[in-house]
Amino acid sequence: MTSTRVIRGAIGVAGLLAVAELAGRTGLLDPAVVPLTSTVVSDTVGLAVDSEFLTDVSFTLIVWAVGLGLASLLAVSAGMLLGSLPRAESAVRPVLEFLRPIPSVALIPLVTLVVASDAWMKITVVVYAAMWPVLINTMYGLREVDPLAKETLRSFGFGRLDVLRRVSLPSAAPFVGTGIRLAASVALIVAISAELLSGGAGGIGVYIIKAGSADRVDLMLAAAMWAGVLGLIVNSVLVRGQRRLFRWHEART
């Protein structure tokens, strides 16, 4: 069942690559503008052992990981506070609704002025973008906590903090997990966007800019391929982690 799906998916990908290759070979697409698929694929493989590119990848991953970690920490704490204090939540909500739609890349010029370090500037932008899915999901998860579960613990004489720690938190955890997984993809996109827009010492985005100024469209595409692959890996690792950690949640819904 799943294996036939995998096979079909592989056929789809191979078909697309073959069509693109053919379009290049027959002159439908000018190989001088759009490089041949075979060239891009072999470049992509080559980049995996290119130490210069790998350094760039590590720059991006550090910004991504630190940004995502800080965003999760901040957003889970804020979400717990707001989720358990409904009055504070209704006071803060308009502010959140205003801030949330601001595209984080629009903040880059401002953050560049305020934060001197290039890496921390990018991390700040990533934190801003990645915070929202975690915050919203944490607040939602806390709202969804079953009142009867809380009453059960209260009836055994546990206080408010215990109820928060032993019932609200674990029962909201699967929602927090989903928030972090969504934030992980956003963080990767924003990290690379920040590199593309503001350059810097290194990163996948910086590599793409350099390849562009050297007129190496094939390398630009190969680096973009790796950005996509990283996104896929991160997502599937987190999906698996979520399934394992929150088996109880899936088993019940």
Partner 1 sequence: MLDVINLSHTYGAGPQAHQALGGVNLHVAEGQLVSVVGPSGCGKSTLLRSIAGLVRPTGGRILIRGAQVDGVPDDLAVVFQDYSRSLFPWMSVGENVELPLQRRGLDRTARRAAAAEALDAVGLGNAAAKFPWELSGGMQQRVSIARALAYRPSLLLMDEPFGSVDAQTREDLEDLILAVRGHHRMTIVLITHDIDESVYVGDRVVALTKAPARVAGDLQVDLPGPRDQIATRELPGFVHLRAEIGRLVRGKHADLLPNLLPNRSVH
Of 25 and 143, CB closest to partner 1 = 143
Structure tokens, 130: 């990645």
| Contacting residues toward partner 1, per CB under 8 A | 146, 148-149, 151-158, 166-167, 170-171, 173, 246, 248-249, 251-252
The residue among 94 and 157 lying less far from partner 1, judged by its C-beta, is 157
Please name the residues in contact with 74: beta carbons below 8 A apart, sequence gap of 6 or more.
127, 131
- Structure tokens that stand for 98 in this block: 């205003």
**Shortest Å, Cβ 51 to partner 1:** 45
Please state the closest distance from residue 75 (CB atom) to partner 1, in A: 21
Query: Could you give the C-alpha distances from 23 to 26, 36, 215, 220, in angstroms and in order?
Result: 5, 9, 21, 19
Asked if 128 and 104 count as a contact pair (C-beta separation under 8 A), the reply is: yes
Residue with Cβ nearer partner 1 (76 or 131): 76
Cα separation, 204 vs 226, whole angstroms = 9
Helix axes 2-25, 37-47, angle to 10 degrees: 120
Write down the least CB distance from residue 167 to partner 1, Å: 7
By the 8 A CB rule, do 211 and 125 touch? no
Instruction: Identify which of residues 101 and 159 has a Cβ nearer to partner 1 in the complex.
Output: 159
Q: Which of 30, 146 has the CB closer to partner 1?
A: 146
Q: Nearest approach, Cβ of 219 to partner 1 (angstroms)?
A: 48
Amino acid at 150: K
CB of 163 to partner 1, least distance (A): 11
- Number of helices and strands (H, E) in the chain? 12, 0
